[in-house]
Structure 1
């Protein structure tokens, strides 16, 4: 008879695969809520929920920040690429304009003006205006004055030495015709006229081609010492006044009721004044100041207080390329702090003529503003020199 054997369950092992309860990774946004044991209080549960929510929000914020950073990086990359493309296009257009089209270069302007074919530079100037343009035959035939210094400045930039510059005296009515007279009385055509020549719309309409203004002055009056004071044009009513022919001073004197006579040279007016054939001489203050400075006891210089400005310019004739070259010199003189040629000319010729006891405005002490001429320069070239 068989005997039943009792089985000890403690020694047996389960058959088949052993199963374990799966627990998700410890990720804040995937963590499952585990039912708390009965002894956990409501405050602890709420505190844990808040902590889990904060962790979840921080994870979302981090993802958002990474997205924004990635967008900013892409934007900067595209912007940098666009800027590079723009620079390339600008460079291509600039080089095309410089090498193919656009304004002329200095070399082209010189060729168009004919400057390189001139062995000398003939300039028409006044010869009887102390401090402006004066020829002294007794001092080695020396030329001096503000206009003379401006002429040398322009000639230098055109490539002419002082020995290559020829000055010829001319009368007022010859300034538009650009015809001067040499020492033998022979008519001489000139390339430039720098002769206290005021720029006006009327003269430009008549065909005079001016450069940019190089000096601003005003109309004034000179009388012999002992003359009654003159403070306005009206004080010259019924007075005999001499001025230069084609001068801008004539119309104002006529409107004031003066009896106006005209001469081609200012020295002829002063000759009449010395003979007392006239009562006064009226023209630009920069011209009269030289005569007052030369003969301080003989004459009295009067300020009329006029608002009209006389703007002196260079007559370049029918030569547009030469006009641009002259304007380039005036622009360099105006814009370049290291270029003091204009200032030295003013101090030497005009500033020195101001009467310290009875100062009368002569001319503005600053060079008139000059716009930059439209001249082609390569990127590595200096437009100021």
Structure 2
């Protein structure tokens, strides 16, 4: 779908033109390729997100045969790519700490930057929401790709009248999730990317419990036939403090924290109370309530009554510590092209009006 979209969108990449704005000139705007782009894709969606970067660069215009794949460890291959003098732009998707390192290296060469960094997406459930839909949506959005998704629902804020029922419902649905081989059609949730990531997620949960939070369901690696893999159970946590690590930091695993709120203002304030701003969702039957949330929640994308779907025609990118710039959509061409003003003199007059600033009022 991404390939088809950019193949078509490239045909509509346009500049603009102006008539004789001063009587002597006409102007046009050209969009030209930014130059060599160093694109660094993450491990959680390596092919998909590589395409998000490669396709707009190709569509913007590059010579044939100059797409090269560089494989290596980030501190070696990545830093060499970002620092290379021929690279004019760096497009990076990954964690916020690594993004800061990429930015510091790129700025030394005054390179254009596009950063899609970490997320801690809030899932805000107002008291008029469809409870069944919100419960189902929360489980699906928190467990997608085993929670290894920057836009995954990681912290649910539920207005107090629905809080207990929501927690109970999510726990029940999480209890039906089937862990197993991701190639098995009967599997709902596969493993994490590595044992190292499994241990990282487990330590987040352990620290949350030590800080006073409570695990409602999950909270450990499964035993039995799955004990040899990097699996982690769907995990629901409550009673965490808003300023705790489990609420503020990106876990990147199948872990959902649920907190209550009282007023709409409280819910939106809590949703904004992390460094991140990649994505969010609001669940309500009220259009005005949903639209207010979309205006006031600080995120690059706000879904209303859904969470996760992304399409090629719409931009994807964050604000705050989640970075800047857009993947996908025609907005991505703003990242991969430069704007050039072309001015054409149309009078054929030898001595221009502005020459009097040098020669004075000569006949």
Structure 1-normalised TM-score? 0.28
| Greater Rg by CA | 1
Structure 2-normalised TM-score? 0.29
Relative contact order (alpha carbons < 8 A, sep ≥ 6): 1 or 2 greater? 2
